[in-house]
């Protein structure tokens, strides 16, 4: 699931475009409809590609509501940047671009709306040239510009295709097993209680999971999950999710809170950060300056503490410690925006390096700046994790060798990753939590594909799945066991299947199966051959009967209905228990059959280690 952010300005056709793409009007408030202007966050979704659902966050475009826009733009994978063709680039267009740049949004597409109002092609060309200039040196520098009209439908198909191309090529969201969701909307429903919505940044939520709300530290439990009005058992990273939380009152939650698994994130009123001041800011960022901090969906007043410099001038980067007026929940590497409270202006933004520095730093200490420089590049644990992501799964010794660190630093970093549960160690193999979850996802995907292509097979052979995943047994076997424990996979002998998969015969196939089983029962030990059985019901149904345990094939030519097989092998075993040994002639007489079937049964019992051959006789093992 992906989230698209849209940005633009008043009466530019942004919400109209979203409605044309999705069939959903994202403007919820009466005032929004009266003023024809998005004031707060709106939500919609559409289907792209092969029915993949894509979530849309419609954020306010007008300068007066930029701070509402910031509550919804933090979790997006792709920006659908909307500019009206009859107005072109506006001041707020440049401000939105700067914000997307500071948040390092992974790219986007520019929709040039209301082209039906433009009769002069020269004007349209001029607007596009102006747009290219505005986009240069931003994260949208290479974004395609698509002229569209929500009114006539022109360009909408091309836009949908581009959206899908960009989203399907995007890197999947990280899954470190540390679920957290910044809350951008809170409401209550009669009979259900408190519901919060947001974009799941990491990990997965399941119904019944305990949760913790930060910064309030309230505890609750996931009562229900939905995405795009569809009920879920599990919510995945990157998806727009509505969580029904039990044990928490609606009035105790607000926008900016974070819903997380217990212990995943904690609140802070002091944080260290790297910072970039916008080149067109009206002045420098000064020490002890009051600012508004926007991180996740949270907004809070803060005071700046400039580290290692007197001030940070327009276009410069530097180091900050931010002292907050009230607690928020944020994590290392989260991106943030700073704005001046009055008059409103976006100043710059950066990266949270340490959400819990513990104390206020002295401003001009060289060791403080050196520590922040190291954190910006990544801690040894970060660097080791990045190395592992490139070569996983691998051995611990190979990982330490590839890390490029001295042994003492690498071993300490490995221990830190183990303590934080970011890696999984299996015998001599090690892999990241993200890699492990990725393998589980691949495993279920391959099973799903196998069931789709082979509906009459009970499951996928275990070794075939291992080959598809290209895994060694020390990784594959624990992976399968974890999938079984999590309820993702059911083991059927040497076969693996998804819990929801079952073999279903058509009425015609059921009739053919019943006829065959009657024939086999009537034939007794001289059963129809494998070839005859396949001819009677078809190869697919024959193999399904083997998977289901209805038939038992003992060699390339001989097969029995399972009750008959158990009866014949049981007679041989009883004879052996009484007499100690049996030969082919005795088996033939015991079962009143020919030598062919007697030898087939004896060799089969040898193969499954029930008997062993001693000269021309069999004895029990």
pLDDT tens for each residue of 319-375? 999 999 999 999 988 999 999 998 889 999 999 999 999 899 999 999 899 889 988
> Cis omega before residue 620 (within 30°)?
no
pLDDT tens for each residue of 256-284? 999 999 988 999 999 999 999 999 999 99
Q: Is 513 left (phi over 0), alpha (psi -120 to 50) or beta?
A: alpha
Mean pLDDT of 582-590: 94
Q: Looking at domain 510-620, which CATH architecture does it have?
A: Orthogonal Bundle (1.10)
Q: Which pLDDT score, from 0 to 100, does residue 401 have?
A: 85
Q: Looking at domain 180-260, which CATH architecture does it have?
A: Beta Barrel (2.40)
267-377 belongs to which homologous superfamily?
Translation factors (2.40.30.10)
Domain with CATH 2.40.30.10 in the chain: 180-260, 267-377
Domain with CATH 1.10.10.10 in the chain: 510-620
pLDDT tens for each residue of 427-481? 779 999 989 998 999 999 999 999 999 999 999 999 999 999 999 999 999 999 9
Residue 296 burial (CB < 10 Å; 0-12/13-18/19+)? Answer: buried
* pLDDT over 70, % of the chain: 92
Tell me the whole-structure pTM to 2 decimals.
Answer: 0.72
Residues whose CB falls within 8 Å of the CB of residue 53, separated by 6 or more in sequence, listed in order: 1, 45, 46, 47, 227, 228
CA 619 distance to own-chain centroid: 56
Least confident of 2-11, 512-521, 547-556: 2-11
Could you tell me the fold of the domain covering 2-168? Rossmann fold (3.40.50)
Helix or strand run (H / E) with residue 590:
helix 584-591
Mean pLDDT of 197-207: 89
CA 561 distance to own-chain centroid: 45
Mean pLDDT of 552-578: 95
CA distances to 97, 285, 314, 318, 378 from 276, rounded to whole Å, are 15, 10, 8, 7, 18
Task: Label each residue of 227-270 as H, E or C.
Answer: ECCEEECEECCCCEEEEEEECCCHHHCCCCCEEECCCCCCEEEE
Confidence of residue 103 (pLDDT cuts 50, 70, 90): confident
Is the distance from CB of 376 to CB of 351 less than 8 angstroms? yes
pLDDT tens for each residue of 474-505? 999 999 999 999 899 999 989 999 999 999 99
Confidence of residue 95 (pLDDT cuts 50, 70, 90): confident
Q: Which pLDDT score, from 0 to 100, does residue 67 have?
A: 65
Residues whose CB falls within 8 Å of the CB of residue 251, separated by 6 or more in sequence, listed in order: none
Pairing mode of beta strands 145-147, 230-232: unpaired
pLDDT(11) > 50:
no
Of the candidates 317, 300, 309, 192, the residue with the CA atom closest to the CA atom of residue 242: 192
Is the distance from CB of 71 to CB of 328 less than 8 angstroms? no
Residues whose CB falls within 8 Å of the CB of residue 335, separated by 6 or more in sequence, listed in order: 74, 102, 103, 104, 295, 349, 350, 351, 352
pLDDT(621) > 90:
no
Three-class DSSP category at 193: strand
Read off the DSSP letter of residue 191. T
Cα gap 20→156, rounded to integer Å: 8
State the chain's mean pLDDT as an integer: 88
Q: Which pLDDT score, from 0 to 100, does residue 73 have?
A: 65
Domain with CATH 3.40.50.300 in the chain: 2-168
Mean pLDDT of 134-154: 90
**Vertex 487 angle, CA 485 and 488, to 5°:** 110
The residues that bridge with 246 in the sheet, in sequence order, are 221
Cα gap 181→243, rounded to integer Å: 10
Q: Which pLDDT score, from 0 to 100, does residue 40 have?
A: 52
Angle, nearest 10°, between helix axes 539-547 and 530-537? Answer: 110
């Amino acid at each position: 699931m992906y989230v698209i952010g849209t940005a633009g300005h008043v009466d530019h056709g942004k919400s109209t475009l979203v409605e044309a793409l999705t069939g959903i009007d994202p403007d919820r408030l009466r005032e929004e409809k009266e003023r024809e202007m998005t004031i707060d966050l709106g939500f919609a979704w559409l289907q792209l590609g092969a029915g993949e659902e894509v979530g849309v966050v419609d954020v306010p475009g007008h300068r007066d509501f930029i701070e509402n826009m910031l509550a919804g733009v933090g979790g997006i994978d792709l920006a659908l940047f909307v500019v009206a063709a009859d107005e072109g680039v506006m001041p707020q267009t440049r401000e939105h671009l700067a914000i997307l740049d500071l948040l390092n949004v992974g790219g986007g597409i520019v929709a040039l709306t209301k082209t039906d109002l433009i009769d002069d092609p020269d004007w349209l060309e001029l607007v596009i040239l102006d747009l290219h200039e505005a986009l240069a040196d931003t994260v949208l520098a290479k974004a395609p510009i698509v002229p569209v009209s929500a009114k006539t439908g022109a360009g909408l198909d091309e836009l949908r295709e581009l959206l899908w191309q960009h989203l399907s090529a995007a890197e999947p969201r990280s899954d470190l097993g540390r679920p957290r969701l910044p809350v951008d909307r809170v409401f209550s429903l009669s009979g259900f209680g408190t519901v919060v919505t947001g974009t799941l940044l990491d990990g997965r939520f399941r119904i019944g999971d305990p949760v913790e709300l930060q910064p309030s530290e309230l505890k609750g439990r996931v009562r229900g999950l939905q995405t795009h009005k569809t009920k879920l058992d599990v919510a995945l990273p990157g998806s727009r999710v509505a969580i029904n939380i039990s044990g928490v009152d609606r009035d105790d939650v607000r926008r900016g809170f974070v819903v997380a698994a217990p212990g995943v994130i904690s609140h802070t009123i002091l944080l260290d950060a790297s910072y970039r001041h916008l080149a067109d800011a009206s002045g420098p960022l000064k020490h002890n300056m009051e600012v508004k901090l926007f991180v996740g969906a949270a907004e809070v007043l803060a005071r700046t503490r400039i580290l290692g410099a007197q001030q940070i001038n327009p276009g410069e980067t530097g180091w900050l410690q931010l002292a907050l007026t009230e607690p928020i929940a944020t994590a290392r590497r989260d991106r943030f925006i700073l704005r001046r409270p009055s008059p409103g202006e976006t100043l710059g933004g950066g990266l949270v390096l340490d959400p819990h520095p513990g104390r206020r730093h002295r401003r001009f200490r060289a060791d403080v700046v050196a520590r922040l420089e190291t954190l910006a590049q990544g801690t040894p644990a970060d660097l080791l994790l990045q190395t592992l992501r490139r070569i996983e799964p691998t051995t611990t010794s190979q990982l330490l060798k590839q890390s490029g660190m001295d042994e003492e630093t690498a071993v300490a970093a490995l221990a830190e990753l183990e303590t934080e549960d970011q890696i999984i160690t299996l015998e001599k193999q090690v892999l990241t939590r993200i890699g492990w979850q990725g393998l589980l996802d691949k495993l279920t995907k391959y099973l799903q594909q196998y069931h789709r292509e082979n509906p009459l097979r009970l499951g996928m052979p275990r070794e075939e799945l291992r080959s598809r995943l290209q895994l060694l047994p020390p990784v594959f076997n624990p992976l399968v066991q974890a999938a079984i424990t999590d309820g993702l996979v059911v083991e059927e002998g040497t076969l693996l299947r998804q819990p929801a998969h079952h073999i279903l015969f058509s009425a015609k196939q059921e009739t053919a199966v019943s006829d065959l089983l009657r024939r086999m029962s009537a034939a007794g030990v001289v059963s129809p051959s494998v070839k005859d059985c396949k001819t009677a019901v078809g190869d697919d149904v024959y193999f399904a009967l083997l998977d289901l345990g209805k038939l038992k094939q003992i060699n390339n030519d001989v097969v029995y209905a399972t009750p008959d097989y158990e009866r014949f092998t049981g007679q041989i075993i009883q004879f052996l228990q009484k007499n100690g040994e049996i030969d082919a002639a005795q088996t033939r007489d015991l079962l009143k059959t020919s030598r062919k079937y007697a030898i087939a049964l004896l060799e089969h019992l040898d193969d499954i280690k029930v008997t062993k051959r001693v000269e021309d006789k069999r004895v029990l093992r």
